[in-house]
Structure 1
């Protein structure tokens, strides 16, 4: 019968005195409240205890309500060794249950441990289990824990602590905390104790402290005549008599979190207190509560990092625009009036660290943000911190004043949060929500932010994702993980995916990006694995995988085999990754525009020099600009670019005016010089010495000498001297005249044709040959003897651009007349 009744109670069919009290109606709830209201706290506890032991559903509800408040799950751990890390701390307390968060607190000025930390369990039962065994030996020191909301108040308030805490002096350097505890454990149970170690060297300072659980055990230890440990006679006495100093705790009082009544003050997320003020952590001080109306008005105010310049004006308004701190002018909040001038603000590293410490304490202890989030926000929001510092000009205790200010003037937490993600104030302004000021109110933002953090994405890189793919942070719970899992199913590592989504945040939008997958498959066919790709991805750049796919497809179409293309990419990864391949595509387009064939492109890039691709393109543009500035014709520029493409991109030329000054020539002379000797461009690069070109007369003499040597004259002979004396005209014309005579001898009818006809046909023939449309060599007599109609069919109309080039040559030749 009892089992049936219990089952009915669990099925929510509880009947008491003929009434259904499990009904959702308000009348039933009011009736129950009226019955419970007269009961005392002890009666309510007994009643709930009995019901919880009889009905598991009620027990689970009690546990759920109790565990919802972090105050019941958060432990303060003191007495830690200086070298204890957050990982070691969590490992020591994990035996009691699952840990939600744990961290050792470090000094902001020195970066060293402050000897204490915090542990927050996921369930209240784990916290209670840890409190039943509050002392733990961690890294050679006996650490002690208690509820964080109690701070050290529970320790210092014990009346007999002075009679239980002993000072142990004269210790040998070899004596460790474990040895010390074992030695003094024979007198009774020890509550806490450790050897004192130096912060910098981590070596023993020759003394320590032991606190017994009973006064009797402490007296036994003091009265024990055998006081030899580690080969030395040690000193044992009450700690409060040591040098006349009162007993000291592990932490300085200025940093001990103690309960502070906030009156109608600041509501803390996740805490429900009936008829009692919410509990925060701050410095002990007597502060009267805010009037309710004033506080309500301040909460409605829009808050940000730009402070109000004139505090004398009334600021009690409903809403303020983005970029202003709201506060009510209340003299009771400060012991003295604070200066608000922005002049001569102290911004030393020490002051900045104090401000960061105050901000960390506010975000973590008062606002209950996870420690890692709060620490990152306080350390990586310099603009926001500087604005906080500017409020307290030349004040000695900046940390205390800022902590005090934050407690009564809640900030817009989104501003330091977005700045800590790597965004500038001008960049995150569009992302500030209009109706929110607390991070905990935007659950999806924090959920997706933590997904990225837990996945291995560096926190200050997340801002890039927010800026380029904002909708990612509005994914419902579980959506983000499913997208990441979809990429993992492709066989990609977590580190590779985390780097890729920073470089290309748009990959997270929609389904798995097919172009990204195809690029990976093509590269894999070339034996290029994802680990190699990960090494060459730059997180500060944004990669366009569609552009990369175009690059790979184009090179395949140009005739490059997968083996050749894979070797090219491994040797020059910048071709694919710099600009997502767009720079290489630009160079290909430039070569095609200047007449390079598709067959030539592959061989040109397979010989690509060891130089950054961006630098190569910059050199190329600079060289083209130089050639245009010296008035070189487009055809000649194209010829130089096709034949010496790698040379042109490998050297950084001096400025045009500098080159002209060094060579002591005009643009026309320099243009002719480059056309005759394209390889001389290398000598005009930065860092090379440029010598003057020979004068026109000297150049003509050199060309005459070269011509005579080519036709068989002996250098410095009398015959050569006579020939040089009788030659008239420019040296450059000798070879042309000689060719004309040779053609006349081999082809007498040569003299029947005009010079213009001969020049025009040779120009057209040589152009076709340079374009690769003619193979072999045609006799000069045949070329000149062709009829106009035949020549037009065989040579001019042979190339799509032939008629246009033919007309250009005609204008050029006949204009010279």
Structure 2
């Protein structure tokens, strides 16, 4: 009953937060015993209310209202300190815990970190060793984040798993303290395809030091103006392999449409083939003019986010011609209509993307 009365007093009357009030009422046995002795000396017979626990709790609470206690004593005891240890920590000018906002703020910070709270830390007498542990934990967190970001970058450029392992085994000491730029922000600046990036990193992983936050990214060696002629030759050779005739109007038109390096065309062509599309569909102008990472993003959206099987792309390869933004808008409209019973739940992708206006008219 004493615990229940203490909780009621701290929580309902003292305004302490639930977890703090509960901890103070349950984890301060010495304070509770002292309180019961005071009740006994005040001629309040708690045992007389044994038949009605609620009456006893109300009586104890009423006694506390007229004989307020110093809330810092049960608070420090609930943290594991003995009265002899916290006597010097109890403030002389405060009795209510909520009056010390600094202490409560520190309490919640360390509670959220999962660290057992020490009163000396809470009142500002920070232990140097604790500070070192916290700083070390923060640095360790940054290191793990940087390594994860680097791993995702290497996976994003299609580097083989064993090659990634070699990079991490030999260079993790500086990869952990170096934060790479986001791939999308510097991939175009490097002016190299994913295969070229893999090759550069495998030859010299420390090249990635030039791609960290705060540094200006320079094009990869051999990807500047000097290599324009070679890149054009690769484009022409690739288009000839696809069936274009040399010096024809078709090949000239294709060369004007295809942007980027010649080596990137092979990546753009190989990616649709890996999905099961035919060569005729993979070499479509609308597909080849898109970067392979753009195509991959569209496929991930359809397959991983919306749950369509890859066979859907084979049946309707033209869906890759739509921009990702347009695809998301049309699917959002489709699901909106479906929720209102205005669209069939089994519409094909071709219907959703190409005939949305007809579908939207169902709600009129």
Structure in which a larger fraction of residues adopt strand: 1
Using CA pairs under 8 Å that are at least 6 residues apart, name the structure with larger relative contact order, 1 or 2: 2
Structure in which a larger fraction of residues adopt helix: 2
The TM-score normalised by the length of structure 1 is 0.19
